Amino acid sequence: MSESTHATELTRRRMLQGAAVALTAAAGTAVLGLTGPANGPASAAGLGASDEFDEAYRGRRIQGRPAHGAGGEHHHGGGYTVLIDGEPLHMMRNADGTWISVVNHYQTFSTPRALARAAVNELQGAALVPIA
Amino acid sequence: MAVRKNQATLTAKEKRDFVNAVLELKRTGRYDAFVSTHNSFIVGDTDNGERTGHRSPSFLPWHRKFLLQFEQALQSIDPNVTLPYWDWTADRTPASSLWGADFLGGNGRSSDGQVTTGAFAFSGGKWTLGVRPDSRSYLRRALGSAVASLPTRAEAESVLAISTYDAAPWNSSSEGFRNNLEGWRGVNLHNRVHVWVGGHMMTGMSPNDPVFWLHHCFIDKLWAEWQRRHPGQGYLPTGGTANVVDLNDTMKPWNDTTPADMLDHTRLYTYDTGF
**DSSP readout, B108-150?**
BPTTT-BB-SSTTSGGGSS---SS-SBS--S-B--TTTSSS-P
Q: How far apart (Å, rounded) are the C-alpha atoms in residues A1 and A80?
A: 31
The verdict on B134 touching A (C-beta cutoff 8 Å) is: yes
In the stretch 213-272 of chain B, residues with CB closer than 8 A to chain A read none
Helix (H) or strand (E) holding A123: helix A112-123
pLDDT digits (tens, 9 = 90+) for B203-223: 999 999 999 999 999 999 999
Please indicate whether, in this complex, the C-beta atoms of A105 and B42 are within 8 angstroms of each other: yes
Q: How far apart (Å, rounded) are the C-alpha atoms in residues A16 and A18?
A: 5
pTM: 0.88
Residue bearing the bigger pLDDT, B141 or A27: B141
Residue bearing the bigger pLDDT, A51 or B228: B228
The closest alpha carbon to B235, from B225, B223, B243, belongs to: B223
pLDDT for the residue numbered A7:
41
Question: Which positions in chain A touch B113 (Cβ < 8 Å)?
Answer: 124
Instruction: Check whether A80 has a pLDDT greater than 50.
Output: yes
pLDDT for the residue numbered A22:
39
Instruction: Check whether A35 has a pLDDT greater than 90.
Output: no
Q: How distant is the Cα of A106 from the closest Cα of chain B, in angstroms? A: 5
Provide the percentage of residues in chain A whose pLDDT is more than 70: 53
* Rounded (10°) CA dihedral B238, B259, B191, B103: 170
pLDDT digits (tens, 9 = 90+) for B220-260: 999 999 999 999 999 999 999 999 999 999 999 999 999 99
A-chain residue closest to B36, CA distance: A132
In the stretch 6-25 of chain A, residues with CB closer than 8 A to chain B read 6, 10, 13-14, 17
Residue B232 · residue B194 · CB < 8 Å: no
> If pLDDT is split at 50, 70 and 90, which confidence band does B1 have?
confident
Which CATH number is B217's domain given?
1.10.1280.10
Question: Which positions in chain A touch B219 (Cβ < 8 Å)?
Answer: none
The verdict on B206 touching A (C-beta cutoff 8 Å) is: yes
Helix (H, G, I), strand (E, B) or coil at B101: coil
pLDDT for the residue numbered A32:
31
Helix (H, G, I), strand (E, B) or coil at A92: strand
> If pLDDT is split at 50, 70 and 90, which confidence band does A20 have?
very low
Question: What average pLDDT is seen over chain A?
Answer: 70
Segments forming the whole domain that contains residue B117: 2-271
Lowest pLDDT segment from A5-19, A114-128, B258-272: A5-19
Please indicate whether, in this complex, the C-beta atoms of B191 and A96 are within 8 angstroms of each other: no
The verdict on B39 touching A (C-beta cutoff 8 Å) is: yes
> If pLDDT is split at 50, 70 and 90, which confidence band does A67 have?
confident
Please indicate whether, in this complex, the C-beta atoms of B206 and A105 are within 8 angstroms of each other: yes
pLDDT digits (tens, 9 = 90+) for B180-194: 999 999 999 999 999
pLDDT for the residue numbered A31:
31
Delimit the domains of chain A by residue range. Answer: 1-35, 49-123
pLDDT for the residue numbered B275:
87
The closest alpha carbon to B198, from B189, B209, B188, belongs to: B209
Question: Which positions in chain B touch A96 (Cβ < 8 Å)?
Answer: 172-173
pLDDT for the residue numbered A51:
78
Sheet holding A99-101, edge to edge: A91-93, A99-101, A104-109
Question: Which positions in chain B touch A129 (Cβ < 8 Å)?
Answer: 132-135
A-chain residue closest to B167, CA distance: A38
Q: How far apart (Å, rounded) are the C-alpha atoms in residues B116 and B205?
A: 20
Residues 6+ apart with CB under 8 A from A47: A66, A79, A80
The verdict on B56 touching A (C-beta cutoff 8 Å) is: no
A-chain residue closest to B136, CA distance: A126
The closest alpha carbon to B80, from B15, B7, B25, B28, belongs to: B15
Number of domains in chain B: 1
Range B86-101 burial, b when 16+ CB lie within 10 A, else e: bbbbebbeeebebbee
pLDDT for the residue numbered A79:
84
Lowest pLDDT segment from A24-28, A75-79, A83-87: A24-28
Residues 6+ apart with CB under 8 A from B200: B129, B132, B139, B140, B141, B206, B208, B209
Question: What average pLDDT is seen over chain B?
Answer: 97
Q: How distant is the Cα of B78 from the closest Cα of chain A, in angstroms? A: 32
Q: How far apart are the first and last CA of chain B?
A: 20
pLDDT for the residue numbered B116:
98
The verdict on B96 touching A (C-beta cutoff 8 Å) is: no
Sheet holding A80-84, edge to edge: A53-57, A60-66, A80-84, A87-88
Lowest pLDDT segment from A9-18, A123-132, B107-116: A9-18
Q: How distant is the Cα of B205 from the closest Cα of chain A, in angstroms? A: 8
Lowest pLDDT segment from A50-54, A87-91, B63-67, B250-254: A50-54
* Mean per-residue pLDDT, B153-164: 98
Residue B200 · residue B210 · CB < 8 Å: no
**A107: nearest CB among B171, B195, B205:** B195
- Residue A107 vs residues A55, B17, B147, B173, B180: alpha-carbon distances, Å: 23, 33, 10, 14, 14
Fold of A49-123: protein ne1242 fold (3.30.1880)
Mutate to test the interface with B, among A74, A106, A123 (most CBs of B within 10 A): A106
Instruction: Check whether B38 has a pLDDT greater than 50.
Output: yes
